[in-house]
Copies of this chain bind each other. A is one copy, B any other.
């Protein structure tokens, strides 16, 4: 384990936490809500609310200040007003409390002289005392494996993701969204203004975590872009870094300045950054989650040829257009595959080929499994997308039992040697259809096969998977395998 990874244990696996600024009044965001969430998620360590005016907070004995605690806690979560933060840090330094998460906002992001000065003060004290600080203006650490889920999906779900983010709200949503698809988070950090520890520190940390297989970053700025570039380039050769840059437009950059006090820099610079580092650039929450799901669940593709299995002529046309636009290919199938398909598509209205337009596959799992076997044997096919359909009144289908279990069984038996994704469209304002769609997508994802609400979203995710794979192979050929 890298040196820094040992250093960060206090953030992600604390045995004891001081919550500085937990109030006794009504439930509100801050120390109080963090304390309550830690209780709710069953955090197994010791909790110490710090509040000079309270004897207890939320049923837990409170202490007037940090020096009064019965031990030096592994971590302090600080939510006192910004002007008191420097003195809290000085107390931490004095007592040897090294890991601090500053939840409080009201620093550089205000854009005021006072805010900037206060943040400099935080930085100065921390550097002088060697404090490890997350923040200010952030949600801090998240680690399901150690019961530390004071925000985001509760209970947390452990898994292959490492999340490094400058937005608390986006990260909360990300952990919840991923968990609903059965994709867990090993460790996440919302680090806000990044006054002391910054994006590069946390990226480097996630790179050193063996359990983290896929890294997701949401970034508005970096204090040292050169250092981030070097680190991202190195890490990308070891594991994929899905990279979501906020503030890519002038207006977005101005917004970021008031969010995390970020100077976003030149967009042209960031385009160069993507090319040089091999990070996987995404532009929205859905694209981010779609992509990380593909990277977490799928093997790497051998090429960019996608076989599209579904029904409906218009769907097939539009799906072809979509894949081509995303930089994928929709290749002709091999002669032997076509021969077999012609035998199995005698019905009028079906069109053998790629895309395969064959409504029968929606309801007949045996037929679909045979076609998936063919696809796995066809050298022209590198990836597969299977459209699934929720039967309903609008269509001319027979009532048949749900074929999903048999499809999943077939997938498992075959072993996913070629990346295979599913699509289930349930968009719109029909609550029952939406519910069924989400359920079906989660069933596939939880079985290990990513499922998307549209072909457009599946194609984008697979295109990222293909491009990263091709980039990495080229890099490894050029410079040898990454060092462990």
Q: Please give the residue numbers on chain A whose beta carbons come within 8 Å of chain B beta carbons, in ascending order.
A: 26-29, 33-34, 37, 81, 104-106, 109, 151-154, 165-173, 175-178, 180-182, 218, 220, 244, 246-252, 254-256, 258-260, 283-286, 289, 311-325, 329-330, 348-349, 351, 353, 355, 357, 359, 392-396, 398, 425-439, 441-442, 445-446, 453-454, 456
A-B pairs with lowest CB-CB distance, top 10: A167-B314, A429-B442, A169-B312, A259-B313, A434-B438, A252-B321, A249-B324, A246-B317, A180-B429, A435-B435
Please give, as numbers and ranges, the residues of chain B lying within 8 Å of A29 by CB-CB distance: 349, 359, 396
State the oligomeric state as a number of copies. Answer: 2
Is there contact, CB below 8 Å, between B249 and A433?
no
Closest to A254 in B: B320
Please give, as numbers and ranges, the residues of chain B lying within 8 Å of A349 by CB-CB distance: 29, 105
Is there contact, CB below 8 Å, between B427 and A435?
no
Closest to A429 in B: B442
With contact pairs A351-B258, A442-B429, A446-B429 given, residues A251 and B330 touching in the complex (Cβ less than 8 Å): yes
Is there contact, CB below 8 Å, between A442 and B430?
yes
Please give, as numbers and ranges, the residues of chain B lying within 8 Å of A429 by CB-CB distance: 180-182, 438-439, 441-442, 445-446
In the complex, given contacts A220-B314, A285-B425, A435-B435, what are 8 additional A-B residue pairs having Cβ atoms less than 8 angstroms apart? A104-B348, A153-B394, A168-B313, A177-B428, A252-B318, A252-B320, A255-B319, A284-B322
Is there contact, CB below 8 Å, between A427 and B176?
no
**Nearest CB of B to A293, in Å:** 10
With contact pairs A314-B166, A429-B180 given, residues A321 and B249 touching in the complex (Cβ less than 8 Å): yes
- Alpha-carbon distance A255/B315, docked complex (angstroms): 10
- With beta carbons under 8 angstroms apart, the residue of B317, B433, B454 that contacts A255 is B317
Closest to A26 in B: B398
Please give, as numbers and ranges, the residues of chain B lying within 8 Å of A175 by CB-CB distance: 394
- With beta carbons under 8 angstroms apart, the residue of B152, B249, B395, B435 that contacts A172 is B395
Is there contact, CB below 8 Å, between A426 and B435?
no
Please give, as numbers and ranges, the residues of chain B lying within 8 Å of A109 by CB-CB distance: 313
